[in-house]
A and B are shown apart, each in its own frame.
Chain A
Amino acid sequence: MARDQWGTKAGFLLAAIGSAVGLGNIWRFPYVCASNGGGAFLFPYFFAIITAGIPILILEFTIGQKFRGGAPAALGCMNKKWEWLGWFQAVVAFFIATYYAVIVAWSISYIGFSAKQAWGVDTESFFFEKYLNVSDGPLQLGGIQLQILIPFLAVWLLGYIILSKGIKNGIEKANKIIIPLLLFLTGVIVVRGLTLPGALDGLNYLFTPDWGSIWKPEVWVAAYGQIFFSLSIGFAIMITYASYLPKKTDLVNSAFITAFSNHGFELFVALGIFGVLGYMAGVQGVDVAEVSKAGVGLAFVVFPAAISALPALKGTVGAVFFITLVFAGFTSFISIIEAYITGVIDKFNIPRQKALNIFVGISFVVSFIFVTGAGLYVLDILDYFINNFGIVLGGILEVILVGWFFDLEGLRTHANRYSNFAIGKWWNYMIKFVTPLVLGFMFVQNLVQNFIEPYGGYSFGSLLIIGWGAFVLCFVFAFVFYNMKGDSSVMLQPSKEEVSK
């Protein structure tokens, strides 16, 4: 079976950028920057891009392209036992896909709500009580919420259709359309945000440096965390996307372009977000810090309130903001699904359509839990555990195994072979020392923090069943898939001779 391939290099880059640019760029970066030293945060942030983000991206591009397989096949090609780690990353991607779909679905609903600002005056009550109809706790499901169901079905259906068309005709084409539109719509938000009265107060809050914070370890951890979680690294996506690259591909510059595009985008969108927040703070007569939020609270509570407070074009600006969220989330969503679909196709040599029918079907059924009244709670817990433990552990094991127990120098030579500019030995040191240390510190810190103070004030039982339960399931399913008998006749992988060239 011939392996699918990207049609153009630009197509691959747009898909990689589309994967990296997600909801976190819009609703996480501006807050993290503002609350970790403002402008001073940009120095640890840039340092983290160079010492961790780009090196890991180069590593994953190289692994995927050299061994021409998704994470399980590629890591399994490097060492049979490491296939397990590839499956671990793929299962992490599976869990993320299940809840990512519902956030995109909420955003679709909010495009419609924007027309007449259906959220009213109390945006918080509207979102949590009227729209989500949240139950009393994570273990009380509270039934399917029909108002979320239709956009939710649309997200899964559209994702399924695009993925069915394959890499070149599906993912690449979708990204070639969506990414330019995403950039244009973000431009609209930025222009609107910056032309509002009070916007400069927001930007002052965002960028005024607090130099004292640069000496705080937590600010550096926040910088590395933002880089790591924002680039779609550590959970099989970039290895998968790179596995569809042709042999003569510039890997190093592609990684630099992907990273700079992703982080350049979040700096750009931050201008619009804090422009609007500055305006809103002015209207309410409060400090910008009081309206500065991250995540779901920013997108579905603060922003709707800000949209209602706009002097004109409320419906248009609201629709543009939520379409931007949909586009950013959707391109990431399809990349997350592709990460485990490719793993399955590689291992069992089954047609793409069959793999999609089975595994998108399973993901779709599992994700129904997020359409219930307990959906937000389950999402919150799962997101925390899968990100802070699943992705981080997958990343640590990847850099340690490949850095210390594989021919890293050989990978560097391969990365440099067709690249526009070469990476030096510094890359080896980043992979072997800096990234394991930083990620290890993050993992231990999160672990200790969780034992001192259980996450989010949830009950121990909820965290055990949903959070730790999902984390354990990542191990269990990784071992199950690792031990399953694949199709040994699969000739998707290059021969050892070809790899060693």
Chain B
Amino acid sequence: MNTSALIMFLVGAIMLWGGLIVCLRIAFKKHNNVNNGVDDIAQE
């Protein structure tokens, strides 16, 4: 694979797959925080 094609593929992968990973991480992080909050309330 030539260098420019490889770079462009990596740019696309970072933009799309990287964007997806960031969004999923945010969603899971918030989800866990909410669950922890629920647990805290239950313990109280």
Contacts and interface: CB of A to CB of B under 8 A. Distances in A.
Interface of A: 38-40, 42, 46, 200, 203-204, 206-209, 250, 253, 256-257, 260-261, 263-264, 267-268, 420-421
Nearest to A419: B30
A264 B8 CA distance: 14
B24 A257 contact: yes
A421 B15 contact: no
A179 to B, nearest CB: 14
B5 A260 contact: no
Interface in B1-44: 1-2, 4-9, 11-13, 15-17, 19-20, 23-24, 26-27, 30
Contacts of B12: 39, 42, 46, 207, 267
A256 B23 contact: yes
Contacts of B24: 257
Contact of A207 (B8, B16, B23): B8
B8 A204 contact: no
A71 B2 CA distance: 47
7 contacts: A38-B5, A209-B8, A257-B20, A257-B24, A260-B16, A264-B16, A267-B17
B30 A38 contact: no
B27 A209 contact: no
Given A257-B24, A257-B27, A421-B26, A263 B9 contact: no
A263 B16 contact: yes
B23 A42 contact: no
B40 to A, nearest CB: 18
Contacts of B2: 204, 208
Contact of B26 (A39, A200, A204, A253): A253
B8 A253 contact: no
A40 B20 contact: no
Contact of B8 (A40, A200, A263, A268): A40
7 closest A-B pairs by beta carbon, nearest first, are: A39-B8, A260-B20, A207-B5, A264-B16, A208-B5, A260-B19, A42-B12
A203 B26 contact: no
Contact of A264 (B7, B11, B17): B17
B16 to A, nearest CB: 4
Most chain B beta carbons < 10 A, residue from A200, A260, A261, A263:
A260
A208 B11 CA distance: 12
Given A203-B9, A264-B16, A267-B13, A39 B4 contact: yes
Given A203-B9, A206-B5, A250 B30 contact: yes
Nearest to B30: A420
A420 B5 contact: no
Contacts of A200: 1
Nearest to B6: A207
Contacts of A206: 5
B9 to A, nearest CB: 5
Contact of B16 (A209, A267, A421): A267
A420 B27 contact: yes
B36 to A, nearest CB: 15
A421 B7 CA distance: 30
A203 B5 contact: yes
Contacts of A420: 26-27, 30
Contacts of B11: 39, 42
Contact of A42 (B15, B26, B30): B15
B7 to A, nearest CB: 8
A42 B19 contact: no
Contact of A39 (B5, B16, B19, B30): B5
Contacts of A268: 17
